[in-house]
């Protein structure tokens, strides 16, 4: 179906300047080269180690860049920072023939370098041309080693710090990623000492850091002797950047923050949404039924190999991520707009509920992914390539879902790259985008129409504060439509005093945790 470009139009709400507080942290400059929603990205399935001194929490202090302000909005929209020209070139040509035994580890190294430069991990995985050539077991190893290295990066860097008197820097800075991988294999994946040491040294050589092979050998051998005791002196909290620790402790308390940090270190389960017959598919997929809607099972392979995928019976979606679309309570043939729709998990829910859905995204690549996902699921929608800030429908609609771009700090278990790609300063740029989207989208509703606003963030600045500012500016034209316990199901304990939902992963340890979310439902009174 053709994409439609819609001209820009005014919003229904006057836009006051937001002055929302963001937790402050010790000042540190922006990294020059920093930078799975695994659940939704698997719809298609087919969905610091930079050599700098350590800050007070043993996280590396990045180099400053003069482009921070100019690129803030771009980073917020894309979920990462724009790639910089390579400034970390190895001392010799890295494009040597890689032995078969090192192929998997070389791919992991390439993935970590891409993440270091601002690429999201799931994008780095999907764009790596060597990964599909591996056997399934080796592909699982690549993902496991990459995610383990990223999840536990803070701890591993604390372990490595006393063993490396002078960290590689500049053109050799990416050699630190190889040491990180080696430590992760030895201490966390329990790879045999001989294999871990030899593969780390050889990978250092194969990537062009020949002069650092001696360093790698010495560090890895010391890790075999001292690594366990050094690791015991760390905690999962070390993996959170200092600004995030401060924010979560302030808003959610020490106990919840510790529990969220612990949960973030575990591999996520596979959550599934189905078009119909959830109980029946739970049996077919050997899965547990959660809240009569989502299926959950342990699985570390390719979801597309499971029964029902090819026939489009289901898609991968975190149990908490499936809640916002349900809370719209779509009736058959209601007109619905899904804003920021790609890759399409919530779009699929709205269509399956009977809505006539217009799915909007401002990225052609993401819209193409959405089109492929809906084709597999055999679900129809009107796809629109447009910026939601300037879009206006031909006629008022019954419902709008705004799954807004956000810091995604509620998804760090699925997206460990977030831990090193987000900064406190990003929240300000994200707030502006969220404000622009929600205030424009409210103007699309008919009288009595409803909107659900959601972010997969644990930052109140992107949830509670945005909704409060919108209601204050609305002058009675819009109001919060309180979510009931029956509607929320197992998430009823997350209903706030204002009738919104604030999901903390630590509140759902009994089912293995979920992504963190904020959800609000608004009603048009005009």
Catalytic positions are 456
- Record the tokens describing residue 159, joined without a space: 């372990």
Distance, in Å, from the CA atom of 433 to the CA atom of 418, rounded to the nearest integer, reads 19
Q: Spell 18-37 as b/e; 16+ CB within 10 A means b.
A: eebebbebeebebbbbbbbb
Distance, in Å, from the CA atom of 144 to the CA atom of 124, rounded to the nearest integer, reads 14
Task: State how beta strands 335-339 and 356-361 pair.
Answer: parallel
* Residue 87, CA distances (Å) to 33, 131, 204 in order: 9, 25, 18
According to DSSP H, which parts of 164-241 are helical?
175-187, 193-206, 213-232
According to DSSP H, which parts of 274-411 are helical?
278-284, 323-326, 345-352, 364-377
- Record the tokens describing residue 138, joined without a space: 């080796």
The single-letter DSSP state of residue 13 is: S
- Record the tokens describing residue 479, joined without a space: 């109001």
Distance, in Å, from the CA atom of 478 to the CA atom of 523, rounded to the nearest integer, reads 6
Are the CB atoms for 227 and 191 separated by under 8 Å?
A: no
The three-state secondary structure class of 112 is helix
Closest CA to 417 of 239, 200, 185: 239
Distance, in Å, from the CA atom of 164 to the CA atom of 160, rounded to the nearest integer, reads 6
Cis omega before residue 355 (within 30°)? no
Number of H helices, E strands in the chain: 18, 12
Residue 129 neighbours by CB under 8 Å, 6+ apart: none
Distance, in Å, from the CA atom of 351 to the CA atom of 336, rounded to the nearest integer, reads 9
Closest CA to 91 of 183, 168, 165: 168
């Amino acid at each position: 179906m053709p994409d439609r470009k819609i001209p820009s139009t005014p919003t229904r709400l006057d836009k006051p300047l937001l002055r929302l507080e963001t937790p402050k942290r010790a000042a540190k400059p922006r990294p020059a080269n920093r930078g799975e929603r695994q659940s939704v990205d698997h719809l298609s399935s087919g969905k610091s180690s930079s050599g700098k001194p350590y800050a007070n929490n043993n996280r590396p202090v990045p180099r400053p860049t003069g482009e921070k302000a100019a690129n803030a909005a771009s980073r917020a929209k894309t979920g990462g920072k724009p790639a910089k020209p390579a400034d970390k070139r190895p001392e010799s040509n890295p494009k040597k023939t890689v032995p078969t035994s090192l192929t998997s580890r070389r791919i992991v190294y390439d993935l970590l370098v891409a993440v270091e430069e601002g690429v999201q991990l799931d994008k780095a995985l999907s764009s790596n041309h060597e990964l599909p050539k591996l056997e399934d077991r080796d592909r699982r190893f690549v993902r496991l080693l990459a995610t383990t290295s990223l999840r536990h990066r803070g701890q591993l860097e604390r372990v490595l710090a006393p063993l490396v008197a002078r960290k590689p820097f500049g053109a050799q800075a990416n050699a630190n990623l190889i040491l990180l991988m080696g430590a992760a294999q030895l201490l966390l994946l329990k790879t045999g000492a001989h294999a871990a040491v030899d593969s780390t040294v050889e990978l250092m050589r194969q990537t062009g850091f020949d002069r650092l092979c001696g360093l790698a050998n010495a560090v890895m051998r010391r890790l075999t002797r001292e690594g366990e005791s050094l690791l015991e002196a760390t905690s999962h909290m070390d993996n959170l950047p200092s600004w995030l620790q401060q924010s979560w402790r302030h808003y959610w308390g020490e106990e919840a923050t510790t529990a969220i940090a612990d949960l973030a270190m575990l591999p996520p389960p596979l959550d599934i949404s189905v078009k119909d017959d959830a109980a029946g598919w739970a049996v077919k997929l050997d899965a547990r039924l959660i809240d009569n809607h989502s299926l959950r099972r342990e699985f570390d392979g390719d979801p597309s190999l499971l029964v029902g995928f090819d026939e489009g019976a289901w898609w991968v979606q975190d149990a908490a991520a499936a809640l916002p679309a349900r809370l719209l309570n779509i009736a058959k043939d209601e007109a619905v707009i899904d804003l920021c729709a790609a890759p399409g998990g919530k779009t699929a829910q709205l269509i399956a509920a009977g809505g006539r859905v217009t799915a909007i995204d401002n990225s052609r690549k993401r819209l193409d992914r959405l089109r492929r996902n809906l084709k597999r699921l055999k679900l129809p929608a009107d796809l629109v390539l447009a910026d939601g800030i300037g879009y206006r429908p031909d006629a008022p609609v019954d419902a709008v879902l705004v799954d807004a771009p956000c810091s995604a700090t509620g998804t760090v278990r699925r997206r460990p790259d977030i831990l090193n790609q987000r900064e406190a300063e990003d929240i300000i740029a994200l707030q502006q985008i969220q404000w622009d989207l929600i205030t424009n989208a409210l103007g699309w509703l008919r009288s009595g129409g409803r909107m659900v606003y959601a972010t997969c963030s644990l930052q109140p600045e992107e949830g509670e504060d945005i909704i409060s500012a919108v209601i204050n500016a609305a002058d009675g034209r819009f109001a919060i439509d309180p979510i009931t316990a029956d509607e929320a199901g197992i998430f009823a304990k997350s209903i706030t005093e204002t009738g919104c939902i604030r999901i903390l992963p630590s509140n759902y340890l009994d089912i293995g945790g979920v992504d963190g979310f904020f959800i609000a439902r608004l009603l048009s009174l005009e």
